[in-house]
Amino acid sequence: MSFSQTALLALASASLWYPALCKQVWPNARTDRLEWLLYEQLGGYASPGIAFFVHDCVGIGNETQGISFGAEWLRNAYHDMSTADTIAGTGGLDGSIIYELDRAENVGHAFMETRDSFSGLVTTRSSLADLYALGAVFAVGACSNGSMIIPLRAGRIDAREAGPSGVPEPQQDLATHTASFARQGFNATEMIELVACGHTIGGVHGIDFPEIVPFVPNDDPDDEHTSTFDTTTRFFENKVATEFISNTTKNPLVSGANVTTRSDDRIFNSDGRVTMRKLAQSNDYFASRCSTLLERMLNTVPKEVVLTEPIDYYPVKPRAAQVDINADGTMTFSGVIRVEDALLASPNTQVRLHFVPRNGSQCSDATPCSVTNGIAGNFEHANCVYTKCPATFSFFEYSLVVPSEQGASSFMVEIVNGGTGASVIHDNNGNGFPTGESLQPQYKLSTQETFLIPGPDNTFSSKQQLNLTVAVLNAEQFTNVTAIFYEHKIPGVNTGGWTTDSVELTLSQKVEGTNFTYYTTSYARMFNDAIGAHPFDLVATGPGVSVSNEFIDWNGFTSIM
Ligand SMILES: *[C@@H]1O[C@H](CO)[C@@H](O)[C@H](O)[C@H]1NC(C)=O
Ligand SMILES: *[C@@H]1O[C@H](CO)[C@@H](O)[C@H](O)[C@H]1NC(C)=O
Ligand SMILES: *[C@@H]1O[C@H](CO)[C@@H](O)[C@H](O)[C@H]1NC(C)=O
Ligand SMILES: *[C@@H]1O[C@H](CO)[C@@H](O)[C@H](O)[C@H]1NC(C)=O
Ligand SMILES: *[C@@H]1O[C@H](CO)[C@@H](O)[C@H](O)[C@H]1NC(C)=O
Ligand SMILES: *[C@@H]1O[C@H](CO)[C@@H](O)[C@H](O)[C@H]1NC(C)=O
Ligand SMILES: *[C@@H]1O[C@H](CO)[C@@H](O)[C@H](O)[C@H]1NC(C)=O
Ligand SMILES: *[C@@H]1O[C@H](CO)[C@@H](O)[C@H](O)[C@H]1NC(C)=O
Ligand SMILES: *[C@@H]1O[C@H](CO)[C@@H](O)[C@H](O)[C@H]1NC(C)=O
């Protein structure tokens, strides 16, 4: 957006004023949820902190027991993907592994643990398959100390049932493995590379594979009898190759006592060690081959799936926005602005919001914007689980009251450098950040309660009751105001798609002194899975007109996300 001279004069309080460049336009239904999970890994504003599971690669796994969550999340993604048939365009990373856990090819706790770690984060905008890809990205990032950040695309669709079997197993011969990797889209060289990339972290657990790593019972019930693939099991680097080439490897799939299960030995030697020698010679080469092949692995999806571009972060992103209609004919816009720390380098940098009135498309003399005070303090900080984080973020809370007749269709974010006073305007690529004022849940007028319902034999189940009030602007134009609720088809595991429940809201009352009307409804659901997994949509329709407000979080009625 380029500002006209009048806009510039009307807006500018600082001597320097220029728009910032940002490629992305907010909101983006396909990527915003994953952008949040990917870039606010730890310590952010309402971050689920899932990445903490893989901090220092092993994360909350107990290294002495040989459990590595980094290795689990990477292995989980490979096993889910590896039943793909890339010629037919079927299978791939589609979450089907949750239906395949009883197969011999998926032995071990890793897959159930990964499912249980991520299933609470499944929403209509974050499939389990996308979360599995996210987990693999976190794992490789954490295990490589931030030196390998695999680009993440969104849009994977969860399978509704088990797929064919076909995960490579260690007792299979080289011809079987070569054919299996070819089916997955990796040629014989890439098979060697991908196996080396997968086997630079973690190891083989004797508890799961006693035929490979002898399981000798001892006094420690937690001992999984793990034999690691290389001597630096918590680092994603080329030791798996250097130790192989120097013949010092303790990788049980290379030098284990059981010759039948030495699959890595057969694979690594399959081209006369040419590929393994290259990987051993340069860790940079190893990292670059692994990044390329692991990215391809994550992007192996059924042919009907269309993935997005790699998810980039927004330098400036609105969060937790609320629009409240007040009894005195005013309205309050409040929320949080997330700002990339690189934009806040100078101390006392301030953030100011310019709200464009409903009757204007930008700030001008004819439609002057209302401006918040400069917000200096920030109260949270989002970070990565690994060093070399692409961006860290701070958060700024705002609140502005305007006459409801004036309203606000959108806002722009001005960042005023604390040292020079120079201003940069972030205008969402020329669009402004929409407020969505015309159809808004009224958090202060809504309630959410959880009841225990007695069942047979002293059992209880929980019921969640949402009493929802929504403010609708110029409601005369609409014939239908509806809330659409989503429930998991398979609660608990949280996958298999969604059932939808459309509930028409009832006109309640016009709000005195404004053009807003309240609509209400009451909605109850059984509370058997994560409360945050059920964002709902609002849709208002009338002759030739339709307005919506999507992905409203249940949590918003208790703690605003
Ligand atoms: C890790 O495992 C060891 C050996 O089994 C045990 O003694 C220790 O308490 C465990 N530590 C944690 C933090 O679970
Ligand atoms: C596998 O593909 C790569 C890249 O296209 C190529 O360099 C390599 O020679 C191929 N290997 C085999 C065995 O075909
Ligand atoms: C070696 O592994 C194969 C394949 O899993 C198994 O059938 C065989 O019993 C194992 N041999 C020993 C000595 O454990
Ligand atoms: C490692 O073993 C291979 C195969 O037995 C042999 O060709 C090679 O010379 C050995 N390398 C070293 C460094 O000992
Ligand atoms: C990880 O990288 C950081 C620099 O980004 C470095 O200071 C630290 O020592 C590294 N840690 C390890 C274990 O290599
Ligand atoms: C209500 O809408 C009408 C028609 O757009 C407008 O003239 C009037 O100023 C509005 N009143 C308020 C209080 O917003
Ligand atoms: C737009 O609304 C603002 C604030 O309510 C008012 O000051 C201005 O006169 C209006 N402009 C036009 C062109 O209607
Ligand atoms: C929510 O609505 C239900 C049904 O109308 C009612 O019984 C209940 O008391 C309401 N809860 C609250 C907290 O208002
Ligand atoms: C109201 O709108 C919803 C969502 O757009 C739609 O599913 C429903 O059929 C509509 N109801 C009527 C009575 O038009």
Nearest residue (by CA) to ligand 2, atom 14, is 187
Distance CA 342, CA 316 (A): 11
160 Cβ neighbours under 8 A, 6+ residues apart: 489, 496, 497
Distance CA 101, CA 97 (A): 6
9 Cβ neighbours under 8 A, 6+ residues apart: 365
- Lookup: tokens for 214: 């002898």
* Nearest ligand 8 atom to alpha carbon 467: 1
For residue 246, the tally of other CB atoms under 10 A from its CB is: 9
pLDDT at position 11 is 41
Nearest residue (by CA) to ligand 7, atom 1, is 367
Ligand with minimal distance to 469 CA? 8
pLDDT at position 6 is 32
Mutation test residue for ligand 8: of 449, 465, 558, the one with most atoms within 8 Å of CB: 465
Angle CA(471)–CA(475)–CA(476) in degrees, nearest 5?
165
pLDDT at position 10 is 37
Nearest residue (by CA) to ligand 8, atom 9, is 467
Distance CA 382, CA 396 (A): 12
Distance CA 154, CA 134 (A): 9
Among 551, 546, 523, 548, which Cα is nearest to 536's? 551
* Nearest ligand 1 atom to alpha carbon 220: 5
Element (H, E) at 266: helix 263-268
Strands of 363-479 (E only): list them.
370-371, 381-382, 393-403, 410-416, 423-426, 433-434, 439-441, 447-454, 460-473
Q: How far is the CA of 475 from the centre of ligand 9 (A)?
A: 15
Sign of the CA dihedral running 227, 229, 235, 236: negative
Q: How far is the CA of 186 from the centre of ligand 2 (A)?
A: 9
Q: Give the pocket of ligand 3 (CB within 6 Å).
A: 171, 211, 258, 260-261
Cβ–Cβ < 8 Å for 510, 477: no
Q: Give the pocket of ligand 7 (CB within 6 Å).
A: 357, 359-360, 366-367, 406
β-strand pairing of 226-228 with 203-205: antiparallel
Among 502, 495, 559, which Cα is nearest to 533's? 495
Ligand with minimal distance to 485 CA? 9
pLDDT at position 300 is 98
Integer angstrom CA distances of residue 29 from 126, 498, 507, 537: 10, 17, 29, 12
Mutation test residue for ligand 5: of 143, 387, 388, the one with most atoms within 8 Å of CB: 387
Q: How far is the CA of 360 from the centre of ligand 7 (A)?
A: 8
CA 303 to mean position of chain CA atoms: 22
Burial of 216 (0-12, 13-18, 19+ CB in 10 A): exposed
For residue 12, the tally of other CB atoms under 10 A from its CB is: 14
Ligand with minimal distance to 481 CA? 9
Among 467, 472, 475, which Cα is nearest to 445's? 467
Cβ–Cβ < 8 Å for 251, 221: no
pLDDT at position 560 is 40
Q: Rg of the Cα trace of the chain?
A: 27
- Lookup: tokens for 424: 């940069």
- Lookup: tokens for 127: 């499939």
Question: Rounded to the nearest 5°, which phi and psi values hold at 290?
Answer: -65, -40
The per-residue pLDDT string of the chain (561 residues; one tens digit each, 9 = 90 and over) reads: 222 233 333 344 333 445 665 688 999 999 999 999 999 999 877 788 999 999 999 987 666 677 899 999 999 999 999 999 999 999 999 999 999 999 999 998 899 999 999 988 999 999 999 999 999 999 999 999 999 999 999 999 999 999 999 999 999 999 999 999 999 999 999 999 999 999 999 988 888 888 898 887 787 877 788 889 999 889 999 999 999 999 999 999 999 999 999 999 999 999 999 999 999 999 999 999 999 999 999 999 999 999 999 999 999 999 889 999 999 999 999 999 999 999 998 988 999 999 999 999 889 999 999 999 888 666 678 999 999 999 999 999 999 999 999 999 999 999 999 999 999 999 999 999 999 999 999 999 999 888 888 888 888 888 888 999 999 999 999 999 999 999 888 777 777 789 999 999 999 999 999 999 999 999 998 877 776 778 999 999 999 999 999 999 887 775 443
390 Cβ neighbours under 8 A, 6+ residues apart: 39, 149, 313, 384
- Please tell me what DSSP assigns to residue 85: B
Integer angstrom CA distances of residue 11 from 315, 317, 318, 402, 423: 22, 21, 20, 17, 11
Q: Is 247 in the pocket of ligand 4 (CB under 6 A)?
A: yes
Q: How far is the CA of 205 from the centre of ligand 1 (A)?
A: 16
* Nearest ligand 9 atom to alpha carbon 480: 1
* Nearest ligand 6 atom to alpha carbon 405: 14
